[in-house]
């Protein structure tokens, strides 16, 4: 299943609470990847805005065969409880890994 994680902690600007996934969409397999029996993980770097929406998704690791595009489509629809700095929502980065496995 998918996962998310950021790199924030306590620093000079105060403490930052980690963003939490509230809603996620599982990516669908492309027909090409299914036929080729491709499995693995696509990593996507994202920005989570103050409202918990995904902004500026960028591929960090890819699988090809249409799976990268499916991963981007899915993660754009995710929603998060945003990072909080001193109790106020702030934008911040996160790395999301989407695993593709055939049953």
Per-residue model confidence as pLDDT tens digits over 36-67: 999 999 999 999 999 999 999 999 999 999 99
Beta-strand pair 79-81/92-100: unpaired
pTM strictly above 0.85: no
Q: What's the rounded Cα separation, in Å, for the pair 4 and 93?
A: 10
* Averaged pLDDT score across all residues of the chain: 89
* Assigned token pair, 32: 């090409």
How wide is the angle at C-alpha 29 spanned by C-alphas 27 and 33, nearest 5°? 140
pLDDT grade, residue 96 (50/70/90)?
very high
Q: Give mean pLDDT, residues 78-93.
A: 95
pLDDT grade, residue 85 (50/70/90)?
very high
**Residues in the chain, how many?**
103
């Amino acid at each position: 299943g998918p996962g998310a994680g950021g790199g924030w902690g306590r620093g000079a600007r105060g403490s930052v609470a980690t963003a939490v996934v509230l809603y996620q969409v599982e990516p669908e397999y492309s027909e090409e990847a299914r036929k080729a029996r491709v499995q693995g993980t696509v990593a996507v770097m994202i920005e989570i805005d103050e409202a918990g929406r995904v902004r500026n998704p960028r591929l960090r690791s890819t699988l090809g065969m249409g799976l990268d595009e499916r991963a981007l489509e899915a993660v754009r629809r995710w929603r998060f409880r945003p990072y909080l700095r001193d109790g106020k929502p702030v934008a911040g980065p996160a790395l999301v890994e989407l695993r593709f496995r055939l049953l």
